[in-house]
Structure 1
């Protein structure tokens, strides 16, 4: 990103949110990276001659939806994936069910701040994960369905574990 564009974004950011730092340059970089991801997937499909399906099956949509939910939460909230987030975040507290709450580090870099916001938000990550899984469904459908099945099974297991815990506490009168 050129210095002129960075300076312009800083000025726009200051007028956009005068009382709070908003990493607009980081967001622009993230949008550019997302565009590059989507364009790369489209180019790979074209080069390999793998056409996008006319209409994805309802089963694939359901499978990828649940897998997207699980992978987004794994990246954004799971204790085990915290080393991936650590350069951009600071641990604040446990969030229950093996998840963490973290805050974005106060970076002087708009890019690092934007990355921190992206990787701590499962809702924000979902569009990236869904795009990757959907691209995988076109480029490598068998492998993508297999990985999505594992993620979906894990998500369903999570909900069953929580239901079991709720039922156990209800039976014990807690």
Structure 2
């Protein structure tokens, strides 16, 4: 163990002496997020694309709903579980085609931090919205098309749930 790793481990123990907190993993995640944001900014500069001074309200609504759907799809959907499997362990179904998973705690702070990120739709939302917002600058037509599909799926999900609730209520 290097002195930097030892110092990081000691900081983590001092921060949360009664609970494991993967601070090094969080630092890696924050660095990766910063790299994503910097990469999008660099790509915009290199391509001469400029962000709007004020995003259109329609784009904000579209990206917001698409962010909600894509974040839940990545964090909870059964079909995307192979992406999370190296960092999580299946625990139980969560209803409405979603899964509950627990983060693997196998000694790697980075792996644990990634697992926490991948199982939290709220945490993923910042990443997804940054990617979609960057997409509006770099490839607006394609981004709007993809966001429209995600938004339509989110609306459909809510309609399916409303239908199921109405049917249950009618059947008594």
- TM-score by length of structure 2 reads 0.98
Q: 2:133 and 2:6 mapped to 1: Cα distance?
A: 36
Mapping of residues 126-145 of structure 1, within 5 Å: 126-145=125-144
Q: 1:141 and 1:27 mapped to 2: Cα distance?
A: 31
Q: How many residues align?
A: 172
Runs (5+) with no aligned partner, structure 1: none
Q: Does 1:97 align with 2:96?
A: yes
Q: 2:105 and 2:113 mapped to 1: Cα distance?
A: 11
Q: Report deviation, 1:33.
A: 0.3
In structure 2, the partner of 1:41 is 40
Question: What are the superposed Cα offsets for residues 123-165 of structure 1, whole Å, 9 maximum, x if unpaired?
Answer: 0000000000000000000000000000000000000000000
Q: Report deviation, 1:5.
A: 2.9
In structure 2, the partner of 1:6 is 5
Q: Does 1:147 align with 2:146?
A: yes
Question: What are the superposed Cα offsets for residues 69-123 of structure 1, whole Å, 9 maximum, x if unpaired?
Answer: 0000000000000011011000001000000000001121100000000000000
Stretches of 4+ aligned residues off by more than 4 angstroms: none
- Secondary structure (helix, strand or coil) at the match of 1:18 reads coil
In structure 1, the partner of 2:81 is 82
In structure 2, the partner of 1:31 is 30
Question: What are the superposed Cα offsets for residues 6-52 of structure 1, whole Å, 9 maximum, x if unpaired?
Answer: 22221111011111110000000000000000000000000000000
Q: Does 1:124 align with 2:123?
A: yes
- TM-score by length of structure 1 reads 0.97
Mapping of residues 152-163 of structure 1, within 5 Å: 152-163=151-162
Q: 1:52 and 1:40 mapped to 2: Cα distance?
A: 14
